[in-house]
Structure 1
């Protein structure tokens, strides 16, 4: 078994993903930061001037590109022990206005992407020590939010995929957990949504990307070695509200 600590993080060019890259690097991981926004990602990684961070171009909906990405990571760092399926898209529309294309696109990014990622890394994770996968779900996979049919249902599906993968891979020493962010201050939120969520928050603020990164850092660490199939809600109490 390889003891190399190497993490592949999707959606890493900005917001939550960028925070996860910073946090896991601080914990001693070699980090592959993957995103479709490759120019933005490369600029950020170049600014770090850190040989322990690799920029990887990746469309998470493409099975061939997943294979290429994993090969790049293994060639650079010699192995892979952690996958963080963080990439996702937020899409809102009333049911009467939702389209088949919009619905399917959300599912491709939010559910198919993580599935393809898990498939792509399995061979490396089976050889790794302390292998772990973390999927970024959403409080939209705990409570129903109107006008989120595509996004919410895709995250509910990712929640189920997490549980099935955890059960199936536990015997192979691969832990699979999920985080459920609530309202987090990332570019995914527009100004209107940001203000509405602040006003409805028990804490009077949005969560910060590093607060999600800290939780993920715990779940992929040796401190969580007996945790798999867990669902960690990080929402400042959003799910405590009724209505």
Structure 2
């Protein structure tokens, strides 16, 4: 997709080399798209999958080998000033962005029996507030002649329930609603807004038991990989997808719940 060459993409939440964020960076870098990604190692270190402290630097070096401009920053998206800070840094270091991928997420297990105000607020700050404000900042700084793209990562909340992930399901479900309304508001600016649900994806968090339990639900006989959703997103940010907006795309290999 040569139409992406020289464009500037922001990808949030690209801390881990095995993650979806890193896969998106790689796919867009193949097209000659310049990359600015964010990461937040404190969050990943607190999760069961953890992270090696140098993974973001390794990703940056890997992307630079593609001959593109690459920049990154560690950023806590729960900070209310984070969206403005990020967009200002992108403009200063690379130029005005053409593409925004809201990939960063906050997720912990909770139910009606133990969900606290603090935990719900943390999900809201990252999954909804940061996604909304980043999209607004992107649109306000947008230069129309480039053809803008926003892609939000969602998780198929309206495909079925997610017991044990009450705060995550609630806030990610709101991303779908944001996508539909924001797409109508930004269409006059030439910006498309879509969301992608990758379904269960093996980014390093799955145990062998989880893989075995999930595999029969995939008609292709395999678990989703980060590159699967990254390729879908590469299409959505291309010129070929200029007529697609306001859509929630379930790129999950026919996963049956």
Q: TM-score, normalised by structure 2?
A: 0.84
> How has the CA–CA distance of structure 1 residues 60 and 187 changed in structure 2, closer, same or farther, with 3 Å as cutoff?
farther
Distance in structure 1 (CA, Å) of the matches to 2:219 and 2:31: 31
Q: Choose which of 195, 215, 223 in structure 2 pairs with 1:178.
A: 195
Q: Choose which of 24, 30, 47 in structure 2 pairs with 1:26.
A: 30
Distance in structure 1 (CA, Å) of the matches to 2:145 and 2:6: 7
SS of alignment partner, residue 100 of structure 2: strand
Query: Residue 237 of structure 2 aligns with which residue?
Result: 220
Query: Residue 44 of structure 1 aligns with which residue?
Result: 59
Bigger mean CA deviation after superposition, 227-236 or 216-225: 227-236
SS of alignment partner, residue 141 of structure 2: helix
Q: Choose which of 6, 9, 13 in structure 1 pairs with 2:15.
A: 13
Q: Show CA shifts across 1:125-170 (max 9, x none).
A: 2445110100000123432122221111111101000111101111
Pair 1:162-2:162 in alignment: no
Distance in structure 2 (CA, Å) of the matches to 1:233 and 1:66: 27
Q: Choose which of 206, 222, 236 in structure 2 pairs with 1:205.
A: 222
Distance in structure 2 (CA, Å) of the matches to 1:225 and 1:48: 26
In structure 2, runs of 5+ residues without a counterpart are 42-52
Query: Residue 88 of structure 1 aligns with which residue?
Result: 105
The RMSD of aligned alpha carbons is: 2.1
In structure 1, runs of 5+ residues without a counterpart are none
Instruction: Report the Cα offset of residue 202 of structure 1.
Output: 3.2
Query: Residue 77 of structure 2 aligns with which residue?
Result: 60
Distance in structure 1 (CA, Å) of the matches to 2:84 and 2:212: 40
User: In the TM superposition, what are the counterparts of 1:98-137 in structure 2 within 5 Å?
Assistant: 98-137=115-154
> How has the CA–CA distance of structure 1 residues 189 and 89 changed in structure 2, closer, same or farther, with 3 Å as cutoff?
farther
SS of alignment partner, residue 125 of structure 1: coil
Bigger mean CA deviation after superposition, 195-204 or 109-118: 195-204
C-alpha contact (below 8 Å) 1:137/1:178 kept by paired residues: yes
C-alpha contact (below 8 Å) 1:137/1:158 kept by paired residues: yes
Distance in structure 1 (CA, Å) of the matches to 2:6 and 2:150: 15
SS of alignment partner, residue 104 of structure 2: coil
C-alpha contact (below 8 Å) 2:38/2:75 kept by paired residues: yes
C-alpha contact (below 8 Å) 1:81/1:128 kept by paired residues: no
Distance in structure 2 (CA, Å) of the matches to 1:174 and 1:48: 26
Distance in structure 1 (CA, Å) of the matches to 2:163 and 2:180: 25
Distance in structure 2 (CA, Å) of the matches to 1:106 and 1:192: 27
Instruction: Report the Cα offset of residue 82 of structure 1.
Output: 0.5
C-alpha contact (below 8 Å) 2:180/2:246 kept by paired residues: yes
Q: TM-score, normalised by structure 1?
A: 0.89
